Structure 1
Amino acid sequence: MNRLDPFSVSTHVYKTVEGHPIQIDVLVPKSTLEKKRSIPYGDNTRIPVILRYHGGWLFGGQRDYPNWLAQWVCDLAVKHDAILVSADYRLLPEATCEEALDDIMDAYIWLSTGLTDALKSTYKDSPVIAPDLDRILVGGESAGGYCALQAGLTFFDQSSNPTSTQPIPKPRVIYAEFPYVSLRTPHWTQSYPKQIWNQPQLPLTLVTSLFTSISHSTTLNNGKRPIVSNIPMVSPTGQFTERAIISTAAEQHGRTLDFFGPERDPAPGKRRVFPEDRIEDGRILPPTMFLHGINDSIAPVEGMDSFVEWVRKYKAVAGMKEGREEREVMRYYRVPGEHFVATDMKLDGSEPEWLKEAVKFLEANWLGARNAAL
């Protein structure tokens, strides 16, 4: 069964860049729609929100590719009658990382500026479907975990860099599955043989040819770089697409950061490409759950270990500086498995104890004590 089958899905444009629409999907559990249709209009029927960012090295991926969206996240949405939102964003190297971050932030802002209207236009016969923007869970897998952390660092504490004249709701909690972090370590910056997923050692020419192609397209388009925001990374038969193979080659040859482009402002307090820098500059995360497989060949667990230690060093999760126990505000589940370690796990009683515990942590911070307890 497709893991999106339990949802009613609508697609919307949350921004347009040079005529290119960037899309976002809104998934409402069908069971929730049936419940709400029986509730008189005017009742307190606001329902919580999950914003999920997709993975793909930041170089590819799709908001609407179901197999990378964790089954347990889908189950969590159905369990709590939550709206699940999944966003595309501009992809590297056609875009810079800064431009991708613009979209990542705009997708989050759209929750408060566009989600309510999107629901009203889609469910005209269900006027009581409305988001509870005081209960937002943000997460993602792989590069999507990077996106979720960046959104958390931006919007949880908005005092030092307000992005809008109107208050933007804070995320209550983050989940980051095998996230894209510690990108300046040798694994990502040095060329040496790396066994990544099931791929052989690939030639560097795959990477350089992509840059040549983009440069040629830019020249033909009067200096404007092409814009892409939705590219498959896995074929219908489960094989890596050309885009995923190029991404793998870049990682093997230590060229991943070449795709990122320059930071707009590398000054402390302004820099934002690397979450580690933002943490050093004083940004903090909401309560956060990290999950990583110790056998991860795409994003080695040692990078996650280093990032968690960095978070601890700077007490960079809300409550740490005030003396709260780490376990109250942060969880790190370092478990056996490859990339996508928990993607197919269901919340049906068969899940491992660590996932049950992780979900309880998310529920308690996302929904409040009345809905779940540690």
Structure 2
Amino acid sequence: MAPYDDTTAATRFDSFQIYETHFKQIGDHKIRVGILVPNNLKPGKVPLAVKFHGGGLVVGDALFPDWIAAFWVPFMHRNNAITVLPNYRLSPEASGADILDDLADFWTWFYDKGVDTYFASQNIHLDLDYKRLLVSGDSAGGYMALQSGLTRPKGEIKAVLAQYPMTNHARRSPADTMLGMQVPSTDWLDKKLATLIKPGAIISSANPLTTDRFALSMALNGHGRFNEFFGEGKRLWPITAVEDVESLPPTTIFHATGDSAVDFQDSVDFVEKARSAIPDLHIRLAYAKEGDHGFDTALKEKEEPWLKQELEWVESQWLA
């Protein structure tokens, strides 16, 4: 068994030192960023991975371990890499434009050596290799990863690993189920929005286990009200933003054909659109014929040849 290969959500971070700081402050509200440093980090230049959390752009937290796939742990250890995990404002309190502003501000902080500055304040001295940068994320985090690839200068990000990314807004009906759960009623949604949306409120972290914002995400999409708060515009979704860019880093997308939260066809459509818009693009779509949203959370490379192959390809792009 490879080292660190049998982690569960409860033990996901046991082999890392966990640090927290913030990359942005709005009034009194600090938007946090977590940093995972392997306990066995070796001397020398340290590759970087930025990983965005999922949650439908409505719920989630950067250090919520249940949504960090088991394969990520040995993947980071064997590549002697640290993971930087930003939060961002969440909808419906925040619009899509707000979220993309947070994304841009995170990258400004990152390239202004925000991680180095924080580490120096903790008397930690690492040689971070900004030329070897992987950007990843699942679901809404995949959205953030792709939007990073579409908006950052060419060559800055070496590779993107997007797990079942939101490339377009969800098109669901109230009768649809997601992960076996029913969409809450319109009455429930109306009451929730009446108590939730407060002028000036900022939410940038919401634990799915202790809030009902996961149900809120389902209801907003199931009743066609997500864009009422998120907004509309070409740049807000990768499926249309890709039409106006000249580059995208080498990208692989993981998706299950039976995904009930993010339609598999959305990834197919994005890959086709990206290949059409960007000449000589290196983009791959790895898929599982069985499985639902989050199908890869407990997967191990030794049990999944396709996963091993895709991660080797990511390494070849990221660390070249």
TM-score by length of 2: 0.91
Kept in 1: contact 2:174–2:183 (CA 8 A): no
2:320 matches 1:334: no
2:137 matches 1:151: no
Q: Distance in 1 between matches of 2:183 and 2:284?
A: 35
Q: What is the match of residue 30 of structure 2?
A: 21
Q: What is the match of residue 182 of structure 2?
A: 200
Match for residue 182 of structure 1 among 159, 168, 175? 168
Match for residue 243 of structure 1 among 213, 216, 229? 213
Q: What is the match of residue 105 of structure 2?
A: 106
Q: Distance in 1 between matches of 2:13 and 2:221?
A: 31
For 2:121, give the aligned amino acid.
S
Q: Distance in 2 between matches of 1:130 and 1:112?
A: 14
Kept in 1: contact 2:246–2:278 (CA 8 A): no
Identity %: 30
Q: Distance in 2 between matches of 1:314 and 1:46?
A: 35
Kept in 2: contact 1:189–1:257 (CA 8 A): no
Q: What is the match of residue 346 of structure 1?
A: 300
* Structure 1: stretches of 5+ with no match in the other structure: 37-44, 158-168, 219-224, 236-240, 264-270, 321-328, 369-374
Helix, strand or coil for the counterpart of 2:119?
Answer: helix
CA shift in 2, pair 1:156/1:73, >3 Å: farther
Matched ranges for 1:290-329 at <5 A:
290-315=253-278, 319-320=280-281, 329=282
Q: Distance in 2 between matches of 1:192 and 1:153?
A: 32
For 1:172, give the aligned amino acid.
K
For 1:355, give the aligned amino acid.
L
- Give the Å deviation of 1:172: 0.5
- Give the Å deviation of 1:76: 1.1
For 1:307, give the aligned amino acid.
F
* CA RMSD in angstroms, aligned pairs only: 1.8
**After TM superposition, what 4+ stretches of structure 1 lie above 3 angstroms from structure 2?**
189-192
Residue by residue over 1:292-322, the C-alpha shift from the partner in whole angstroms, topping out at 9 and shown as x without a partner, is: 0111111121221211221122236xx33xx
Q: Distance in 2 between matches of 1:283 and 1:258?
A: 30
Q: Distance in 1 between matches of 2:226 and 2:316?
A: 37
- Give the Å deviation of 1:75: 1.7
Residue by residue over 1:26-63, the C-alpha shift from the partner in whole angstroms, topping out at 9 and shown as x without a partner, is: 1110000xx43xxxxxxxx2210000000001011001
Task: Identify which range, 291-300 or 104-113, moves more after superposition.
Answer: 104-113
2:144 matches 1:141: no
* Structure 2: stretches of 5+ with no match in the other structure: 1-9
Kept in 2: contact 1:293–1:334 (CA 8 A): yes
For 1:208, give the aligned amino acid.
D
Residue by residue over 1:121-146, the C-alpha shift from the partner in whole angstroms, topping out at 9 and shown as x without a partner, is: 23x2x53x121000000010000000
Q: Distance in 1 between matches of 2:153 and 2:13?
A: 29
Q: Distance in 2 between matches of 1:81 and 1:96?
A: 36
Kept in 2: contact 1:51–1:108 (CA 8 A): no
For 2:14, give the aligned amino acid.
D
Helix, strand or coil for the counterpart of 1:362?
Answer: helix
2:156 matches 1:170: yes
Q: Distance in 2 between matches of 1:191 and 1:67?
A: 27
- Give the Å deviation of 1:81: 0.8
Helix, strand or coil for the counterpart of 2:275?
Answer: helix
- Give the Å deviation of 1:214: 4.2
- Give the Å deviation of 1:112: 1.9
Residue by residue over 1:199-249, the C-alpha shift from the partner in whole angstroms, topping out at 9 and shown as x without a partner, is: 12420223323332245x32xxxxxx20010001135xxxxx411111111
Q: What is the match of residue 118 of structure 2?
A: 118
Q: What is the match of residue 355 of structure 1?
A: 307
Q: What is the match of residue 160 of structure 1?
A: none
Q: Distance in 1 between matches of 2:110 and 2:70?
A: 23
For 1:154, give the aligned amino acid.
T
Kept in 1: contact 2:150–2:245 (CA 8 A): no
The structure having more radius of gyration, on CA atoms, is: 1
TM-score by length of 1: 0.78
CA shift in 2, pair 1:363/1:19, >3 Å: same
For 2:150, give the aligned amino acid.
L
Q: Distance in 1 between matches of 2:245 and 2:23?
A: 30
Helix, strand or coil for the counterpart of 2:11?
Answer: coil
Q: How many residues align?
A: 309
Q: Distance in 1 between matches of 2:214 and 2:311?
A: 30
- Give the Å deviation of 1:189: 4.2
- Give the Å deviation of 1:67: 1.0
Q: Distance in 2 between matches of 1:192 and 1:90?
A: 26
